[in-house]
Chain A
Amino acid sequence: MIGFFAPYRDYGGEWLPLLLRAMVNTAVLSVCAFALALVLGLLLSLCQRSDFQALRHFAALYVTVVRGVPLLAVLFLLYFGLPGIGIVFDAFGAAIAGLALCFAAQIAELFRAGLKAIPAGQREAALAVGLTPVQSFRLIIFPQVVRVILAPMIVTFVALLKDSSLASLITVNELVLTGRAMATEYFLPLQIYVAVGLCYFAIAWPFSVFSRRLAVPAR
């Protein structure tokens, strides 16, 4: 057991800055991807509620396809596949695009569930007291939707953060790839990958705890 911890004492000073820098990369990647996913998810949920049947069909198809295709396949397609037809992403861009495309579907479903959770009477009452449709959405509906979906939204962010580890497989220099490079350099894969796991845990756990505290019991 002491043997297991000894490398942390010996190399901890060298490892910490490397891991911290990688943690920042992972965090930046996740936040950028999540922001883009929010925008795409919002657009997708507008498509779902659109008056045009074609847009509704597109949204339904998109959600089904994305739910059935692994993120890794999407990342490989974007990074290795698209240059074949002339579209070139750098690794970081491909990772952001891939994560956002996949998580947009989940976020759209969240928006949908959130909107469904607000009784129709809320909107009717808002319109009846003289608010415009835009006002009633902005002042009455939206704040309630946010309260309903904030907790699952944070859970989704944690899922995205974990999945951002796949970006290492398309050469984005985040936590896992940094860990791999360190593992070949120091030849202590067990200690290094455990440390990498702890780094993820350190970012993700506070969010998980926070989301549980927020969670409104259903109904």
Chain B
Amino acid sequence: MSGFSLFLSVVNGLAAGLEVTVLVTLASLAFATGVGFLLALVRQFTAIRVVNLAIDAYCEILCNVPALTHLFILYFGLASIGVRLTSIAAAILGLGLIGAAITSSIFRAGFASLPKGQAEASLAAGLTPLQTIFEILTPQAMRIALPALGNYAVQLLKDTSVVSAIAAPEIMFFARSMVTSSFQTTMIYATAAALYLLLSLPLMQVTRFLERRYGRLKG
């Protein structure tokens, strides 16, 4: 087989994992932003101590333990007590739960950076507290949070490679299985790396655009 057709067959083989990589990235991104936003709302705008403490603990624990360990707990750990998740479900849940902790702190930083006057003026103008949160504060906080969310999305896309360790059939998984059969190790892993780069470059471009437009958030 000539070099180029070999390369094409490698690309072809890796492309089989493209679907799962994109699926896991999008699904866990949706899960993470949804749950993260809810957590941020509750943490920022309610004063129930137990709940807030629980949210803080959740964020602390998930931010200080590696994704790989979470995935092993969800996939191998839960299976041993009879809760069997498919590898893709465990991947989405695992990355999504970690992401929720990350995005909740991004959203909270967004809310916290708004001047107090925004809420006060809105309440004084006769809007209800809920209207204030959803119609005045959230759109502004979103704008501030967007660049950081973009960075998180790039990180997430790369982190999906880890789920090959629980046998979710994504790009890295196919790379590993092709290596065992074809021994073109260097080329296969380099191509896989290039494929990830190809996927993340547009995301990075969007993030850079958001940073220019809305500024960079420290948080």
Contact = CB atoms under 8 A, between A and B. Distances in A.
Nearest to A165: B66
Contact of A70 (B64, B68, B188, B196): B196
Contacts of B154: 67-68
Contact of B185 (A81, A169, A187): A81
A70 B67 contact: no
Given A84-B185, A218-B218, A76 B69 contact: no
| Most chain A CB within a 10 A radius of its CB, from B60, B158, B175, B204 | B158
B127 interface: no
Interface stretch (B4-12, B41-49, B161-169): B161-169
Interface in B84-100: none
Interface string B167-182: 0000010011001000
B80 interface: yes
A162 B67 contact: yes
Which bracket fits the contact residues of B?
35 or more
Contacts of B73: 190, 193-194, 197
**DSSP class of B's interface residues: helix, strand, loop or mixed?**
helix
Interface in A40-90: 64-65, 67-74, 76-77, 80-85
Interface in B182-196: 185-186, 188-190, 192-193, 196
Contacts of A205: 60, 64
Contacts of A64: 201, 204
A158 interface: yes
A52 B170 CA distance: 41
B77 interface: yes
Contact of B68 (A68, A165, A190): A165
A204 interface: yes
Nearest to B199: A68
A197 B160 CA distance: 19
B77 A193 contact: yes
A84 B188 CA distance: 11
17 contacts: A68-B201, A70-B193, A71-B161, A72-B172, A76-B172, A76-B189, A83-B185, A162-B65, A162-B66, A163-B66, A165-B66, A165-B68, A166-B68, A179-B72, A190-B76, A196-B69, A200-B64
Contacts of B158: 68-71
Interface string B35-66: 00000000000000000000000001101111
Given A73-B189, A163-B66, 18 more contacts: A68-B197, A70-B160, A70-B162, A73-B192, A80-B179, A81-B189, A84-B185, A162-B65, A162-B66, A165-B66, A165-B67, A165-B68, A175-B69, A176-B72, A188-B80, A197-B65, A197-B70, A208-B63
A51 B193 CA distance: 31
A66 B64 CA distance: 23
A189 interface: yes
A80 B164 CA distance: 16
Contact of B200 (A68, A183, A190): A68
B186 to A, nearest CB: 4
A169 B165 contact: yes
Q: Which 10 A-B pairs have the closest CB atoms?
A: A190-B77, A165-B66, A70-B161, A68-B200, A81-B186, A70-B158, A204-B64, A218-B218, A162-B66, A73-B193
B159 interface: yes
Contacts of A69: 158, 193, 196-197, 200
A201 B160 CA distance: 22
Contacts of A72: 161-162, 164, 172
A72 B165 CA distance: 10
Contact of A85 (B79, B161, B179, B186): B186
Contacts of B201: 64, 68
B125 interface: no
Contacts of A189: 72, 76-77, 79-80
Given A68-B200, A72-B162, A201-B64, A176 B69 contact: yes
